A and B are shown apart, each in its own frame.
Chain A
Amino acid sequence: MAIFGLWIINKAGGLVYQRNFAEGLAPLTSNEYLVLAGTLHGIHAITSRISPAAGSSSGAQVIEGETFKMTIMLTATGTKFVLLTSLAETTADVILQKVYEAYSDAVMKNPFHTPEMPIRSEGFETRVTTVIGIGQS
């Protein structure tokens, strides 16, 4: 049970927030994270196109490797919240919902924040620390 990291990807595929928590995944440069976020954005769009089932499909919601998984939450406005956790983590959805709440309160209601731009807000940092802290215990 570990939470490795949190990404927020804006509707254009740009990484606007990235933070690491527990150790366990490779440390990457911020440029590499940007590239991965862009890739994920593209993959997310394609995965909804190749559905074999009747009706429409969402994009990828959970992506699994051998020891970790990425849980992706797409909001109504197209912003993606991505949580990197261990495979056994069951609370990823709940945590993402809480992060979204914190994002709405501390980022979107902040008059000094420019939409779609990187998030630099102390209030949001603290809120995230509280949320993920709860999830980790």
Chain B
Amino acid sequence: MTIYSLYIYDRHCACVYYHDWHRAKRPKPANEGGGLYNAVNRGVAPQSSESSVQTTPTFNSPRNTLSLNTGHVVAVGEPTTPLPQQTEHEVSKSNALPFDEEAKLVYGVVISLRNMVKKLSGRDELFTSYRTSAYRLHLLETVSGYKFVMLSDPNTDNLRFVMRQLYNGPFIDYAVRNPLVPMDSREQGIDNDYFRAATDRFIRGLSVFGP
């Protein structure tokens, strides 16, 4: 029983916040020009091509703040050869997607399923979750079009109430009521230290989060 990750999307189909916990494969940093907003998650933000191409970000603080462990600089235009100490990382991440692509895939799946459920039911019925052999995805859509998407262990019960609490608590307190966070700006996410800390505390305190 565990929770893997949380994505928040705005009504313009863009990811405004991302947070992960027990993920096996970290997403690769997003491509530059992939359309990812600033302030979504420091760890997956596009890395500038001038410094540290392909350096593997390591996350060691519980809040997912990024700290680079290598100072290697690869000149622009040179083929990026994985450095010896990174080979292991690179292999384990070989089929991982860059974050911007992953975020688009998640959004696409969620929207398609939501439309399919609406169409099939013939009334405005909401898509709530799906399950595969490895994980379960839950969706909560707010009236303002924000979508909370949570990935958890396949055996967890529905987590909509958790996302509802996340919305009523940290999201309202540290994003909506925060004058420094531009909501609906179409260029910036809602990530800030307080929101991240409050979300982290809340999720880690849940019984479904596990040890």
Say whether A68 contacts B135, CB under 8 Å.
no
Say whether B135 contacts A36, CB under 8 Å.
no
Q: Is A57 an interface residue (CB 8 A)?
A: yes
Over the window 74-100 of chain A, the binary record of Cβ atoms lying under 8 Å from chain B Cβ atoms (1 yes, 0 no) is 000000000010000000000000000
Residues 124-139 of B contacting A (Cβ, < 8 Å): 125-135, 137
Inter-chain CA distance A61–B123, complex, in Å, is: 24
Inter-chain CA distance A36–B113, complex, in Å, is: 10
> Interface size of A by Cβ–Cβ distance < 8 Å?
34
For B108, list chain A residues within 8 Å (CB). Answer: 46
- Across the interface, B120 reaches (CB within 8 A) one of A43, A48, A53, A84, namely A84
For A50, list chain B residues within 8 Å (CB). Answer: 97, 102, 105-106, 109
For A71, give the chain B residue with the smallest CB separation: B131
- Across the interface, B5 reaches (CB within 8 A) one of A43, A46, A52, A64, namely A52
Interface of B is mostly: mixed
Q: Is B12 an interface residue (CB 8 A)?
A: no
Say whether B129 contacts A64, CB under 8 Å.
yes
Say whether B130 contacts A65, CB under 8 Å.
no
Q: Is B151 an interface residue (CB 8 A)?
A: yes
Inter-chain CA distance A66–B125, complex, in Å, is: 6
Q: Is A31 an interface residue (CB 8 A)?
A: no
Smallest distance from the beta carbon of B116 to chain A beta carbons, Å?
6
For B120, list chain A residues within 8 Å (CB). Answer: 25-26, 28, 36, 65, 68, 84
Sample of 18 further A-B pairs with CB below 8 A, known A60-B132, A64-B128: A25-B122, A28-B119, A28-B120, A36-B120, A46-B105, A49-B97, A51-B134, A52-B4, A52-B20, A52-B24, A53-B134, A56-B134, A58-B132, A59-B132, A63-B127, A64-B131, A65-B126, A68-B120
Interface residues of A (CB under 8 A from B): 25-28, 32, 36, 39-40, 42-43, 46-68, 84
